[in-house]
Amino acid sequence: MPHAGGQRSWLLVAGVVSSAGGMTVVHFRLLGSCIISYSVAENAKTCYSLAMEGYLPRITEERIARALAQFPIVVIEGPRGVGKTTTASLFAKSIVRLPQDLGNLRADPEGFLALLEPPILIDEWQLAGTDFLWILKNLVDADPTSGRFILTGSVEPASYGPTYPLTGRSVRVTIFPMMASEIAGNGSGPQFLSRFLDAPPAVTAGEIGTFDVTKLFTTGFPAARALPDAAMFLESYAATVSQRAGDEGRDSTRFYRTAQVLATLEAQAVPDQRIWEAADINKATWKKYQDLLARTWLAAPIPAFSSNRLARITEYPKRFLVDTALSLALAQVSEDELLRDPMLLGRYLESYVAAQLRPQTASLRAELYHLRTSGGAHEIDFIVDAPKGVLAFEVKAATSVTASDAKHLLWLRENLGERFLKGAVLYTGADVRPIAGNIWAIPISLLD
């Protein structure tokens, strides 16, 4: 039967429980949008668990569940407003909300937390200060049972002091803005990267349609998706993050302008100097802003790939903001402008692809890179460096693809040898077709 608690509505759903040695042993696993109780014991029996009504499953849920089964503390990080607290609440038996509960937490942290049933979610933990992490360290050193605490926060502290207290006691899980598949309600199913890694794509012919450019303006921030003017929300979001710069003694107006410059440089591999000159700031100020952009997750640059098999590779990161619609709003780029300028459209298509690949790459415990040789002779938009090998992708703002569009992928395959698993030209057309061996043309829409 349904149960309402605070702002959450819950439904009882089927799960499993097990008995061992006369004791009931319960662990947690996520299945779809439901939290399922489970045990590795063979004598599993049916029980009930809870699921949030109207909740859209997230790709990170499985990783959170695995982390809680292995570590006493799980730190869930990511930009403000991407649903960290909502997702973490699925796993929590108790919730400490800061700053509301800050008085209790400061008065007697050990005693207050001892009254609560784990897993205990501590929301916006950074408001308690980094010294609070030393208290958690002592608690989990005394009782290292897995799944005791979940920490969520939207701003990484500027410093943790001489050492990080939770080393070896915690694991970090990042939640990014929602992917298109999550918005469609398919966040719990197999995603594009895992499907592509496991099997060749099914070849098609005669499919009709092209990529819908309006998807670039659909933000992954849950609160803004239903708004009639998401751009207004996104500009306000960036202004709120900029105010953080003011709180830390920096110029919030210049910080906002720097974010706008980054938005205009979306999907370009440029040196830092290009940014600070365009933003009319000096190098020292840029370094401070760069730190805050990283700590607030507003910027999400993709680093350059390196390999001893490849020579003369540029080290500049490719610049991205964390959400394509946010970047378009700050750059003040309209749909008409994108449709009139194929090169501009190509850059923001790259941004869209990056937003789909980031969470999927993290779920595979892989790393996301770009590659560009000095002078630009060869350039690969995205490289997924997974434990099994490398996947590589080129993005084209075109409805058809020829073999020449895969020339950089062919070059990479030749140089990486067996390390190169598969590659694809992601384009705005509708058909999947082979190009050369383990390289295909794949519609961008299949990333949804």
pLDDT in tens, 236-287: 999 999 998 888 888 999 999 999 999 999 999 999 999 999 999 999 999 9
Listed as ranges, residues in the chain with pLDDT below 50 are 1-50
- Contacts of residues 387-391 at CB distance under 8 Å and 24 or more positions apart, as own/partner, are 388/197, 388/421, 389/418, 389/419, 389/420, 389/421, 390/416, 390/419, 390/420, 390/421, 391/193, 391/196, 391/197, 391/421, 391/422, 391/423, 391/424
Q: What is the pLDDT of residue 49?
A: 39
Query: What pLDDT is recorded for position 18?
Result: 35
User: Distance between CA atoms of 168 and 149, rounded to whole angstroms?
Assistant: 14
For residues 227 and 106, give the distance between their C-alpha atoms in angstroms, rounded to a whole number.
38
Q: 24: helix, coil or strand?
A: strand
**E strands along 102-254, which residues?**
120-123, 149-152, 170-174
Helices within 206-317 (DSSP H only):
230-247, 252-264, 272-278, 283-295
The pTM of this model reads 0.87
SS3 385: strand
E strand or H helix at 84, and its extent? helix 84-89
Distance CA 236, CA 440 (A): 41
Q: What confidence tens digit (pLDDT) does each residue in 100-128 have? A: 999 999 999 999 999 999 999 999 999 99
- pLDDT at position 296, please? 94
